[in-house]
Structure 1
Amino acid sequence: MSHDHLVLVEREGDLARLVERAARADALAVDVEANGLFAYRARLCTVQLAFREGDGVAVAVVDALRVPVAPLAPLLGAAGPRKVLHDLTFDARMLAEAGAPLAGAHDTSVAARMLGCAATGLAALLLSELGVKVDKQLQQHDWGRRPLEDAELRYLADDVRHLLPLRARLAERSRALEIDEEIEEECAYKLATALGPPRDPRPAYARVKGAQALDREGRAILRRLVAARDAAAEEADVPSFKIVASEVLLDLAQRRPTRVDDVRAVRGAASGRAAACVAAWLRAIEQGRSDGDVPEDERALFQQARPARRELAARRAVETRIAAWRKAEAKARKVDEQVVLPGHCAQDLAEIALARGHAGGEAVAAAIARIPGLGAGRLARYGGALAALATAALPSEPPAAAT
């Protein structure tokens, strides 16, 4: 189906023809939409693609609810054209789950951040860099609804139509600053992180703000309450937060009501969709009381000792030292601080400095070389400086002896 030079792909044969056409392109703009704000488990709803074809730009929207997108895998993988996305993390996860994992991807949000752009959202960048204004009113739209209307198709097309020109414009600036290598290293790191395990592996109840302050029975109750909320959300096919907010469950775990009226006295616990869950809250509280504590293998999540004052002082000193060096180097090179050392690399360097113990210089250098996302270029340029930062004396130590 064609629509203002836009192709809507709803059949497997049409998808195969699209893949064949797009495979001949030198670069491919990619974006996806899902229904995570409206369903218990987010589903990939659309995949948008744009690529140069002849003297123009071809734009396609693949309806992922009507045609499997796994045939896109060769196109989106390492053997396909260079992919360009904006803020690729969510897109990469959804595509991987759908059987079409990304490889060789460039992220324009990473480039914009390393170029020091004041605003790095897509709409802001398109306006500032290309003078193109796009409508973002459908940013929180339910993309699981069908059929796709004209306004929705235009919105989907706009999210990819201008990505390749934006990439070209940002590339001009990055080449002038000679920071292409750092940008690509960060793009690769971001993609690897998106496709890897979550940074915080704790179960949902342990991640609730305030859970760490609960006593044993309280955290057992919270665990049961979160499970009850998830069951209700799955049955209703809505996100868990649309049943009840986490802070309400924390309040219930603290108060531990035993009667319906007491639950209703907790703000938010018996209103909206949660009104049908009052009995479930009471059962969860009773089960948590009976449990007495969370399972033994999860108790360590709540036994994090507060760092000693000396340890906190050492951490602050290391982080301050690294930050000062990074700022000075960025000023000297006239680049953004993230180019010199991304924040996640600075955190890893601080951990190496704090955990080095009696390790020698070679061990520290080897640990620095293994920092994810640091890259060969930064290591060659800054390896000695980073080693010096990591081995400098901590506040509680005497200065290192000269060698």
Structure 2
Amino acid sequence: MTVHLHRGDLPDGLDLGAVVAVDSETMGLRYRRDPLCVVQLSAGDGDAHLVQLDRDAYDCPNLKRLLTDPQVLKIFHFGRFDIAMFQLWLGVETRPVYCTKIASKLARTYTDRHGLKDVVRELAGVDLSKAQQSSDWGAETLSQAQQDYAAADVLYLHAVRERLDAMLAREGRTGLAAQLFDFLPVRARLDLDGWEDTDIFAHT
């Protein structure tokens, strides 16, 4: 594994291919209180690219271009949060997307364990450490442990997606999953607009 740390933006000319795994690190889990700090990406080749964002400007045209590129599929785990953070702090709507958490809930109905650690352990055979999950992502310098943690969150999503796609096809839920992925940026917008704890489809 090689971790490439970039300050402010992805470098010019970097091509991560047609399918890119994406995750983010923030100062917390509240949208407007907790700023976006780091975005990590992987082409599924064993390398990870971490963008430590400039929180004074969020001027990252290369990253924004990739997130909105209609020819690049972005794989997330619980993309609802990351996509909302990108809408809020970067001002972009991320499409097209694939969420391994949604796919897991549709395909792995034999379990209620759909966190990244559980999904990666079962489908990729890797035991992720979550020790740095709550560390200070707004620090001026990211520790090697933080960099390795952030990288691990995207390194295995391609393999997980491949396994989940096979399971979705087996269960006849591929089309349903695709419709849910397409709706995900809208769900993220609802979260930002105040409906994060409301089921707008419920009768009451």
Q: Normalised by the shorter chain, which TM-score bucket?
A: 0.7 to 0.9
Higher helix share: 1
* 1:198 paired residue among 172, 194, 197: 194
Once the two structures are superposed, what CA deviation does each residue of 1:248-282 show, in whole Å capped at 9, x if it has no partner?
Answer: xxxxxxxxxxxxxxxxxxxxxxxxxxxxxxxxxxx
Which residue is 1:76 aligned to? 67
1:49 to 25, 41, 53: 41
Contact 2:12 2:62 in 1 (8 A): yes
- AA aligned to 1:34 is T
The count of residues paired between Structure 1 and Structure 2 equals: 197
Runs of 4+ in 1 over 6 A off after TM superposition: 37-40
Alignment partner, residue 64 of structure 1: 53
Please state how far the C-alpha of 1:117 moved relative to its aligned partner.
Answer: 4.8
Match of 1:124 in 2: 118
Distance between the aligned counterparts of 1:193 and 1:5, measured in 2?
Answer: 34
- Provide closer, same or farther for how the CA distance between residues 11 and 34 of structure 1 changes in structure 2, counting only shifts above 3 A: closer
More strand by share: 2
Q: 1:99 to 1:184 in 2, by over 3 A?
A: same
Letter of the 2:46 counterpart: V
Question: 1 or 2 for the larger relative contact order (CA 8 Å, sep ≥6)?
Answer: 2
The 3-state SS of whatever aligns with 2:12 is helix
Query: 2:104, 2:164 within 8 Å by CA — same for their partners in 1?
Result: yes
Match of 1:365 in 2: none
Taking a change above 3 Å as real, the CA distance of residues 344 and 178 of structure 1, as seen in their structure-2 partners, is farther
Q: 2:157 aligns with which of 163, 177, 189?
A: 163
Match of 2:139 among 145, 160, 168: 145
Contact 1:45 1:143 in 2 (8 A): yes
Q: What's the offset of the Cα at 1:190? A: 2.8
* 8 Å contact from structure 2 (residues 46, 155) kept in 1: yes
Q: In the TM superposition, what is the alpha-carbon distance from 1:183 to its structure 2 partner?
A: 0.9
Contiguous gaps of at least 5 residues in structure 2: none
User: Tell me, what secondary structure is at the counterpart of 2:186?
Assistant: helix
Q: Which residue of 1 aligns with 2:84?
A: 93
Match of 2:13 among 12, 17, 24: 17
- Structure 1 pair 71–194 and aligned structure 2 pair: CA distance change class (3 A): same
CA contact (8 A) 1:69 1:100 kept: no
Mapped contact 2:23–2:153 kept (Cα < 8 A): yes
Letter in 1 for 2:52: D
* CA displacement, residues 275-304 of structure 1 (integer Å, 9 cap, x when unaligned): xxxxxxxxxxxxxxxxxxxxxxxxxxxxxx
CA–CA separation in structure 1 for the residues paired with 2:184 and 2:8: 32
Alpha-carbon shift at residue 198 of structure 1 (Å): 2.4
Q: Is the alpha carbon distance of 1:17 and 1:11 closer, same or farther for their aligned partners in structure 2, counting shifts above 3 Å? A: farther
Give the deviation of 1:65 after TM superposition: 3.0
- The separation in 2 between residues aligned to 1:37 and 1:51, in whole angstroms, is 26
Question: Percent identity, aligned pairs only?
Answer: 24
Larger Rg: 1
Contact 2:73–2:96, Cα closer than 8 Å, also in 1? yes
Give yes or no for contact 1:28–1:51 (8 Å, CA) kept in 2: yes
Any unmatched runs of 5+ in structure 1?
202-342, 352-403
CA displacement at 1:68 relative to structure 2: 2.7
Is the partner of 1:16 in helix, strand or coil? coil
What corresponds to 1:179 in structure 2?
A: 173
Deviation at residue 78 of structure 1 after TM alignment: 4.5
How far did 1:58 drift? 3.1
1:6 aligned residue:
3
Report if the CA contact (8 A) 2:98-2:181 is conserved: yes
SS in 2 for 1:15: coil
